[in-house]
Amino acid sequence: DTGVSQNPRHKITKRGQNVTFRCDPISEHNRLYWYRQTLGQGPEFLTYFQNEAQLEKSRLLSDRFSAERPKGSFSTLEIQRTEQGDSAMYLCASSRLAGPSTDTQYFGPGTRLTVL
């Protein structure tokens, strides 16, 4: 399978703990995105990378959140001191930017985070 992969698929943690998620994009895709989705809503943008550069961060990404893509391949999203409000599905997507107007993004299966 050469699609976007995410690990773990599910994570249950206690409030105050740190968690880290990993995303492996489609090979040769230069852009990688993180989104968060809560129940009954569409995904919301968190941040994205072009190669190893983090180009944009949403206001949703508080200082407890940090994302890295050290070698322009896989990416990690870390949440420090988790809160119950962080419970959500965290989605990763990747794309190969083909031009200024088209950027078809392919999503991974997501990591479901539950903070107790």
Binding site for another protein (CB under 8 A): 4, 6, 31, 33, 35, 40-45, 48, 50, 55-56, 58, 91, 93, 95, 97, 100-110, 112
Minimum Å distance from CB 37 to another protein?
8
The sign one gets for the Cα dihedral 23, 28, 31, 37 is negative
Q: Which is nearer to another protein, 48 or 65 (CB)?
A: 48
Q: Which is nearer to another protein, 27 or 102 (CB)?
A: 102
| DSSP secondary structure letter of residue 21 | E
Q: Which is nearer to another protein, 18 or 114 (CB)?
A: 114
Q: 113: closest CA among 68, 73, 77? A: 77
Minimum Å distance from CB 8 to another protein?
13
Minimum Å distance from CB 108 to another protein?
5
Q: Which is nearer to another protein, 45 or 80 (CB)?
A: 45
Question: Please, are residues 16 and 68 in contact by the beta-carbon 8 Å criterion?
Answer: no
Identify the residue whose tokens are 């230069």: 30
**Buried/exposed 79-108: b ≥16 CB within 10 Å, e otherwise:** beebeeebbbbbbbbbbeeeeeeeeebeeb
Minimum Å distance from CB 101 to another protein?
4
